[in-house]
Amino acid sequence: MRRPLYLIQEAFVNIRINRTSVMIGIITTAFTISCFGLFALLYGNLKNLAGTLQQDIEVLVYVQPEASDKIVEGIRQRLEGEKAVNVLSFVSKAEALKEFHQQFPDESTLLQGMEENPLPASFVVQISPQFQESDSIEAFAERIKQFPGVEQVRYSQDWIDTLALLVSYFEFGAIVIGLILAVATITIIANTVRLSFYLRKEEIEILRLIGATGSFIATPYVIEGALLGACGGALALVLLKGVFEFFLLEINASGWFSGLESVLIFFPFQTSLFLVLSGMLLGCGSSIISVFGLMRVRNEAT
Amino acid sequence: MIQLFHVSKFFERCTALHDVTVRIEKGECVLLTGPSGAGKTTLLKLIFGAEIPDEGQILVQNRNIARLREADIPYLRRTMGFVLQNFKLLPKKTVFDNVALPLIIQGVSRADSKRKVGEALKAVGMNHKHTSQTGVMSAGEQQRVCIARAIVNNPIILLADEPTGNLDTVLTSEIVELFKTIHARGTTVLLATHNQSVVEEMNGRVLHLQAGRMVSDKGPAA
Ligand SMILES: Nc1ncnc2c1ncn2[C@@H]1O[C@H](COP(=O)(O)OP(=O)(O)OP(=O)(O)O)[C@@H](O)[C@H]1O
Ligand SMILES: [Mg+2]
């Protein structure tokens, strides 16, 4: 019980002795983690946005003009049997015409010359959430096309694909940037901890003299690194939250993207925790790297 | 207890020890003498596992030091006490904390270490100063604290390298008395010095080194 307490105390002594570089270390770590966090925030929101947009995706199933009521009913029954269909509604030829007139009052004359209503009846399908992947929508559409009496199936394929591609680019980018910044963070913390170690070289010699093991000597420095990383992560979180709130205020004030602020999300609790913990782990790792080679007991005592 | 067989240690430019063979029994009091550069410190470092011999074998409590893994050296050191000329105390910590450090390292409980530190400080006559910072203490006091730290574990072997090098003659006598008391309690003492009066006062077995060779080995005067 006394040993762990002693080791933690020593970690705080390290921080006190080396406070300037520890402060600098925390701030630089916070900035690097913020960079990654900013990217992750962007990614998370993009993905969220993509999700919301995909929810609105409708597949329009146009019925052949000459199709009889029986065939239309057949299509309805088959559609209702599809798992991918969440909400199904039918727009008859007459309703389609009415909608057309409502939406485009100026062009009403366009259809007047025609004897028969040229607009097809259609089914409007809202896709169930678990089938909102671009691939499954495509497969669904292909299947519907084969139904007797179906003229055409339409949905906004390009938009979904572009968004999915963008999200996957972001995913890749996040991994690359994350790795680069992780290396940067490790370097920063490793140097800070190494400096603490050198500042207490005499004391470490004494510890070796009286039979301290390498891990006993190293532990306070590993704790120091972990604390530094965790503080950096926490500070990064505060910075990001600040930037995020500021951004929201700006959006509200400008009024340009009204409605966007309700869609934007900050990190959920787990992700925030993950950010702080990963800072801590990076800190641990880098201090282990930095003091590992300095723990030799031979040829250095006395 | 300590056995050296044809031990040699070379540094880039010189031979610090050359073909030294010696056997020290449990409870002996051995003085290591010789001019500066004779290899006294090197010999102690070899026994302490801080250096590895280039030739020969060293057995300490039947363990071969040269073959000891790096990770086992701390445990070897815990069976020994080491006192140096330039104290090596933590100046910002109290006397008590300095002496308790070897016990913290070994995970001794608070109550036990309090008792052991108390005993060690009493043995060196520093009991009344246990809350003072060591950095502000006199040389003689600091050396006493060092000795207390070295004996707090009840080591089997006490190694000392010029323990009186920084002290005047009065303090030297006091420290020598302390070593004699510790030896009288059954601890094996190995003390390196080139102070002739220390050698006389200790009245132990004298090993004389010269340019890395052991030139004489005399038992204590009767
Ligand atoms: N780490 C080292 N690297 C190179 N040479 C060394 C090293 N340690 C000791 N020596 C050399 O080995 C020889 C013996 O040194 P050692 O310190 O054992 O002498 P000593 O008897 O303790 O001397 P003193 O009485 O001055 O303390 C010296 O010539 C010294 O220069
Ligand atoms: Mg010496």
Matching residue, tokens 């339409």: A154
Nearest ligand to the CA atom of B208? 1
- Kindly list the domain boundaries of chain B, sorted by start residue: 26-51+70-218
ipTM comes to: 0.88
| Nearest ligand to the C-alpha atom of residue B160 | 2
- Is residue A149 left, alpha or beta, with left meaning phi > 0 and alpha meaning psi from -120 to 50? left
Model pLDDT for residues B21-40, shown as the tens digit of each residue: 999 999 999 999 999 999 99
Shortest-distance Cα residue to atom 29 of ligand 1: B37
pLDDT of residue A164 exceeding 80: no
What is the SS3 assignment for B103?
Answer: helix
State both tokens at A273.
Answer: 């925790």
Q: Inspect the interface and report whether the beta carbons of A3 and B110 lie closer than 8 Å.
A: no
Atom of ligand 1 minimally distant from the CA of B17: 14
Range with lowest mean pLDDT among A89-93, A109-113, B157-161: A109-113
- The domain defined by A58-155 folds into Alpha-Beta Plaits (3.30.70)
The closest of B149, B159, B148 to B42, measured between CA atoms, is: B159
Q: How far is CA A81 from CA A24, A74, A76, A148, B65, in A?
A: 63, 11, 9, 15, 82
How far, in Å, CA of A202 to CA of A200, rounded?
A: 6
Is-contact A195 A23, C-beta < 8 A?
Answer: no
Mind listing the pLDDT tens digit for each residue in A240-272?
Answer: 999 999 988 888 887 666 667 677 888 888 889
Q: For residue A261, count other CB atoms closer than 10 A to its CB.
A: 13
> Tokens 């993509």, residue?
A50
CB of B105 within 8 A of CB of A211? yes
B88 contacts in A (CB within 8 Å)? Answer: 202, 205-206, 209
Distance from C-alpha of B158 to C-alpha of B48, rounded to nearest angstrom: 10
Query: Domain boundaries in chain A?
Result: 2-53+161-301, 58-155
Contact B209, B14 (CB under 8 A): no
Out of A121-125, B39-43, B181-185, least confident range? A121-125
Q: What's the rounded Cα separation, in Å, for the pair A232 and A184? A: 13
Stretch A28-42: mean pLDDT:
88
- Ligand 1 atom closest to the CA of B35, numbered from 1: 25
Name chain B contacts of A203, Cβ cutoff 8 Å.
90
Contacts of B73 in chain A (CB under 8 A): 297-298
Give the residue carrying structure tokens 């992750």: A40
C-beta separation of A218 from A288 below 8 A? yes
Least confident segment among A60-74, B2-16, B67-81: A60-74
Determine which of A9, A14, A210, A296 to mutate to test the interface with B (most B C-beta atoms within 10 Å): A210
Instruction: Ligand 1, residue B192: give the atom nearest the CA.
Output: 22
Take atom 16 of ligand 1 and give the residue whose Cα is closest. Answer: B39
What's the first-to-final CA gap in chain B, in angstroms? 23
Tokens 């002996």 identify what position? B28
Q: How far is B194 from chain A (nearest CA, A)?
A: 19
Query: Does A9 touch chain B if contact means CB atoms closer than 8 Å?
Result: no
Residue B160 · residue B32 · CB < 8 Å: no
Contact partners, residue A243, CB within 8 Å, separation at least 6: A38
CA distance B141 to chain A (A): 18
What number of other Cβ atoms are within 10 A of residue B123's Cβ?
18
- In the prediction, which pLDDT does B178 show? 92
Distances in Å between the Cα of A204 and the Cα atoms of A13, A222, B146 are 13, 15, 16
The answer to whether A16 contacts chain B (CB < 8 Å) is no
Which pTM was predicted?
Answer: 0.77
Where is average pLDDT lowest: A48-52, A137-141, A167-171, A213-217? A48-52
Least confident range from A111-125, A227-241, B165-179: namely A111-125
The residue with greater pLDDT, A108 or A276, is A276
pLDDT at A129 over 80: no
> What is chain A's mean pLDDT, rounded?
84
Task: Quickly name the fold that domain B26-51+70-218 has.
Answer: Rossmann fold (3.40.50)
pLDDT grade for B207, boundaries at 50, 70 and 90: very high
Q: pLDDT tens digits for A179-204?
A: 998 898 899 889 988 888 888 888 88
* Backbone φ and ψ of A298, nearest 5°: -80, 155
Residues of chain A with C-beta less than 8 angstroms from the C-beta of B77? 208-211
What does B66-82 look like in DSSP terms, one character per residue?
GG--GGGHHHHHTTEEE
For B31, counting Cβ atoms within 10 Å of its Cβ (0-12 exposed, 13-18 middle, 19+ buried), the class is buried
Residue type, B43: L
What is the rounded CA–CA span in Å between residue A5 and residue A216?
12
List, in sequence order, every beta strand (DSSP E) within chain A: 58-63, 85-91, 122-127, 150-154
Q: Please indicate whether, in this complex, the C-beta atoms of A2 and B110 are within 8 angstroms of each other.
A: yes
Amino acid letter for position A246: F
CA dihedral B66, B68, B72, B76 (to 10 degrees): -50
CA contacts within 13 A on the Cβ side of A282: 31
